[in-house]
Amino acid sequence: MRADDTRVDPPLRVDELTTLRAFLDFHRDTLRWKTAGLTSEQLNAAHPPSSLTLGGLVKHLALVESGWFAEKLDGDTLMRPFDTVDWVADGDWEFHSAADDSPEELRALLDAAVADSDRRIESAFAAGGLDGTSARESRRPGEGAFSLRWILVHMIEEYARHNGHADLLREALDGSTGE
């Protein structure tokens, strides 16, 4: 582990909720680590042929947090600024608009989304455990609502996949590597 890596490894023998949340937090912190200390220019640097940027990933994952925990789990609207976006006009708005945000704004947006998600996880678990179901149902016919367990596992997968992208983008920027 590098000296600037402050992530906490998930515990080896704890209950299921603690395990899932610890892995989700580990991956959230991995994204924070991969984007730490970068300028706006660095966060917005694309590496062709991809247009993906680290800033875009941060804003995307803030949207994903709000989408799964506020919108799908609780049936609420997306958090600001995502609640007023014309998604039909630009389905990748969060990736494109990240260039307009400072590193501090991007970090604050992600941190606010994570804090809101954590509150919603606690509330959902208290109400129905890991088998409790979401307010919104799957778009796939006949599948019904998502369990809190499914949403947590999906979020771990979402972060893990994008952290792979972040690892490559960060290495291309300044040579920084790490797990």
Both structure tokens of 144: 């019904």
Specify the amino acid at residue 14: V
Looking at residue 104, its amino acid is E
Q: Residue 179: how many CB atoms within 10 A of its CB? A: 10
Predicted local distance difference test score (pLDDT) of residue 1: 41
Cα end-to-end span (Å), the chain: 8
pLDDT tens track, the chain, 179 positions:
455 678 888 989 999 999 999 999 999 999 999 999 999 999 999 989 999 999 999 999 999 999 999 999 999 999 999 999 999 999 999 999 999 999 999 999 999 999 999 999 999 999 999 999 999 999 999 999 999 999 999 999 999 999 999 999 999 999 888 77
3-class DSSP state of 75? coil
pLDDT at 178: 75
pTM of the model: 0.95
Q: To 10 degrees, what angle do helices 148-174 and 16-35 make?
A: 20
Distance CA 60, CA 85 (A): 13
User: Closest Cα to residue 31, out of 130, 107, 100, 140?
Assistant: 107
Q: How far is CA 179 from CA 33, 37, 62, 166, in A?
A: 11, 18, 22, 11
Write down the pLDDT at residue 137.
Answer: 95
Residue 130 gets which letter from DSSP? G
SS3 content of the chain, % helix, strand, coil (to 5): 60, 5, 35
Q: If we measure between CA atoms, which residue out of 147, 172, 1 comes closest to residue 68?
A: 147
Residue count of the chain: 179
Determine the pLDDT at residue 141.
92
